[in-house]
Amino acid sequence: MFGSRRLSRLLVATVAAGGSAALVGVMAVATSSAGAAPGASSGRIVAVGAENEYADVISQIGGQYVRVTSIMSNPNTDPHTFESSASVSRVVSAAQLVIQNGVGYDTFMTKIEAASPSSSRKVIDVQHLLGLPDSTPNPHLWYKPTTMPAVAKAIARDLTDLRPDHAAYFQQNVQIFDASLTPYYQEIAKIKATFPDAAVATTEPVADYMLQASGIDNMTPWVLQADIMNTTDPSPQDVSIQDALFTGKKVKVFVYNQQVTSSVTKAFYKLAQHEGIPVVGVYETMPTPGYHYQSWMLAEADAVYNALASGKSSPKL
Amino acid sequence: MGGFWSHVVEPGFFQSQTVQVALLVGGVVAAISAVVGVLTVLRGQSFAGHALGDISATGGSGAFLLSINPLFGFLGMGLAAAGCMEAIGVRRVRGRDVATGIVLGAALGVAALFLYFDTTFHSTSGAAITVLFGSLFVVSSSTVPAIIACASGALVVVLVLYRPLLLSSVGDDVAAARGVPVRVIGGLFILTMAVTVALSAITIGAILSTALLIGPAATALRMTRRPVTATATAVAIGVAATWVGCLLAYDSFYWPPVNHGWPVSFCIVALVFVFYLAVDLVRSFRLRRTNLPADKSNGAVVRAHPLDTLSTGIEAASASGSE
């Protein structure tokens, strides 16, 4: 239902995790415009994460010296079809530090930055940071276990440029952040060791990097995943292959993207349930409130482990 | 020979559950669209039929927001629009297309808003493509009973009202003189049209739904002037275009770009158009070759289709009736 509950959840979710409420929907931005350039008075660095998982890492590294806003944070929205608005342009053009994913996932960010050029604005494009080509098929880079430590390092470098006096503080936070990823790394290592080459099916490539790191074999044809991601109609041939994965019990787990759904994904979901295959729900952006990047990744890896170990379904986080 | 056929019908076509549902739903919807379509063309209500399709898009996009089956969205909005168009007077010739156009524009505007909400606040992906252009290959098998029920209902209404509908298509006052309750019949027909268009919208999309309604009917009426023969021909053309369209879309998986099927809606609509062009070509070729004296004697009819004069007759009749 599109009721007030969903709307209020959207507004709540728009607040960046850890950051002090900078953007609360279009309305709030309009009203806060009286306060003009946010951050100028408080002396905090104004930062924007195009996706809330990046915003979360900025606030973990920058702590009390940053004010972070995330653009895409609603777990009920498909970020692939996100439409930008004037309020987003305002927030981005005022930012001193911006993180965006790249690989065509958040092209609107580049457009906004080009429309309001600023020599003092620092932009971390994760695709470029990792040295990936534009043709990278899977844009969900934050699911790569090696991505966020590199991002955290880049954040600390840029924050240090902006506030050299707090360099030690940012550096210390990077170490704390890296250490806090250990339980997640241990969980994927455990999956790899306990269930080598476990076969799963997916709807969409969102968690593919994590599955690969866990040594999991994703049996779903790539074209089907890409069709669902790009919201084009999948071919009946690929649908038949996917159906056979469930009816033939060829997969142990069905990894289901809760943020990119359609009648096709729902039909797969039903079939998987009918065949008694455990379903694990995964997300494009960080479910809020209650999660940080590390705990989110750990929760999903944990859910995959439990599904493999005991056949437990966790369709939602 | 076996090798040839395996290229015409690529392996797995009849085994695929997706294809089975598509053939069943597509066949049923194409048939009822053709039946209602012939009457729509005869009654000169093609534009209203197209408008109903576009307007039902609003219901389809709203259905995604409410997380209900899009069919019920298409149906609800189509029926509401049909009632609305009836109330504000689509029967009057003056202002008929204006009234339809205004409702159509407003409804498509609301559809744009709903589609924005669908993609911004809702995890439903690709709502815009599904609502506007549809895909037989994503129709859920759980929708099949509802589709068949709606199609049967529309068919029953058409069968019961067939004679008065035909009679009033010649002219409302002619029909009224024969004791036909013209207003009631017209109202029931536009509601039936709304149901048919909703079914067509779920099959090939709201924007394209008019192609299944009007295309096969118009083609058949270019081949024969007898309503019953025309209806049977239209059903054959509609079902053939839909089934062959499904087959082409399935086979297109092996065409460039390899492993990406072409949209099934495109294949169906393209075939409907090809049928129309082919019939038109054959017809004009025959007329030119035979050069019948009968055609010479009333030269206007050679170029204009008999139905064009028929629909002009309707306009004239209803114009004189309302003024």
Which pLDDT tens digit goes with each residue over B37-66? 999 999 888 888 999 999 999 999 999 888
Mean of pLDDT values over B270-278:
95
Contact B260 A232 (CB under 8 A): yes
Mean of pLDDT values over B24-28:
96
Among B65, B119, B121, beta carbon nearest to A10: B121
Contact A233 B140 (CB under 8 A): no
pLDDT at residue number A35:
34
Contact B17 A81 (CB under 8 A): no
Strand ranges of the sheet holding A199-202, from the earlier edge strand across to the other edge? A217-218, A199-202, A253-257, A279-282
Mean of pLDDT values over B282-297:
71
Contact A240 B16 (CB under 8 A): yes
The 3-class secondary structure across chain A, one letter per residue, is: CCCHHHHHHHHHHHCCCCCCCCCCHHHHHHHHHHHCCCCCCCCCEEEEEEEHHHHHHHHHHHHHHEEEEEEECCCCCCHHHCCCCHHHHHHHHCCCEEEECCCCCCHHHHHHHHHCCCCCCEEEEHHHHCCCCCCCCCCCHHHCCCHHHHHHHHHHHHHHHHCHHHHHHHHHHHHHHHHHCHHHHHHHHHHHHHCCCCEEEECCHHHHHHHHHCCCEECCCHHHHHHHHCCCCCCHHHHHHHHHHHHCCCCCEEEEECCCECHHHHHHHHHHHHCCCCEEEECCCCCCCCCCHHHHHHHHHHHHHHHHHHCCCECCC
Mean of pLDDT values over A75-83:
76
Q: What is the pLDDT of residues A14-61, one digit of tens each?
A: 333 333 333 333 333 333 333 334 444 458 999 999 999 999 999 999
pLDDT band at B150 (very low <50, low <70, confident <90, very high): very high
pLDDT at residue number A223:
93
Give the residue from B10, B14, B15, B18 with the most A CB atoms within 10 Å of its CB, the best one to mutate.
Answer: B18
For chain B, what is the mean pLDDT? Answer: 84
Q: Answer yes or no: is pLDDT of A279 > 50.
A: yes
Domain A182-310 has CATH 3.30.1130.10: no
Same fold, A4-180 and A182-310: yes
Q: Answer yes or no: is pLDDT of A187 > 80.
A: yes
Mean of pLDDT values over B272-288:
92
Domain boundary assignment for chain A? 4-180, 182-310
Mean of pLDDT values over B208-224:
94
pLDDT band at B89 (very low <50, low <70, confident <90, very high): low
Q: Which span out of A107-111, A211-215, A228-232 was modeled with the highest average pLDDT?
A: A211-215
Nearest Cα neighbor of A275 from A301, A303, A223, A313 is A313
pLDDT band at A250 (very low <50, low <70, confident <90, very high): very high
Query: Nearest CA of chain A to the CA of B136: how many Å?
Result: 10
Query: Nearest CA of chain A to the CA of B167: how many Å?
Result: 43
For chain A, what is the mean pLDDT? Answer: 86
pLDDT band at A69 (very low <50, low <70, confident <90, very high): very high
Mean of pLDDT values over B170-182:
82
Q: Which residue has the higher pLDDT, B226 or B171?
A: B226
Mean of pLDDT values over A143-156:
97
Among B18, B117, B124, beta carbon nearest to A239: B18
Q: Which of A86-100, A127-141, B84-98, B298-312 has the lowest mean pLDDT?
A: B298-312
Q: Which residues of A touch B (CB under 8 A)?
A: 1-2, 6-7, 10, 74-78, 80-83, 221, 223, 227-228, 231-240, 243, 258-264, 266-267
CB A253 within 8 A of CB A227: no
Angle at B256 between CA B253 and CA B259, to 5 degrees: 35
pLDDT band at B95 (very low <50, low <70, confident <90, very high): low
Nearest chain B residue to A84 by CA: give it. B120
pLDDT at residue number B10:
83
Q: Which amino acid is at A183?
A: P
Q: Answer yes or no: is pLDDT of A10 > 50.
A: no
CB A216 within 8 A of CB A280: no
Q: Which residues of chain A lie closer than 8 angstroms to B20, CB-CB? A: none
Query: Nearest CA of chain B to the CA of A300: how many Å?
Result: 19
pLDDT at residue number A206:
95
Q: Answer yes or no: is pLDDT of B147 > 50.
A: yes
pLDDT at residue number A79:
80
- CB burial readout A231-264, b (16+ within 10 A) else e: bbbbbbbbbbbbbebbeeeebbbbbbbbbbbbbb
Q: What is the ipTM of this complex?
A: 0.75
Among A74, A231, A233, beta carbon nearest to B137: A233
**The domain A4-180: what is its CATH number?**
3.40.50.1980
Mean of pLDDT values over A159-177:
96
Nearest chain B residue to A231 by CA: give it. B126
Nearest Cα neighbor of A211 from A303, A288, A301, A133 is A301
Nearest chain A residue to B136 by CA: give it. A233
Q: Which residues of chain B lie closer than 8 angstroms to A259, CB-CB? A: 123
pLDDT at residue number B311:
44
Query: What percent of chain B is modeled with pLDDT above 90?
Result: 46
Phi, psi of A234 (to 5 degrees): -70, 150
The 3-class secondary structure across A119-183, one letter per residue, is: CCCEEEEHHHHCCCCCCCCCCCHHHCCCHHHHHHHHHHHHHHHHCHHHHHHHHHHHHHHHHHCHH
pLDDT band at A216 (very low <50, low <70, confident <90, very high): very high
Nearest chain B residue to A268 by CA: give it. B140
Q: Model pTM?
A: 0.80
pLDDT band at A65 (very low <50, low <70, confident <90, very high): very high
Among A228, A231, A233, beta carbon nearest to B263: A233
pLDDT at residue number B292:
56
Q: Domains (ranges, CATH) in chain B?
A: 8-322 (1.10.3470.10)
Q: Number of A:B CB contacts under 8 A?
A: 104
Q: Which of A111-115, B77-81, B86-90 has the lowest mean pLDDT?
A: B86-90
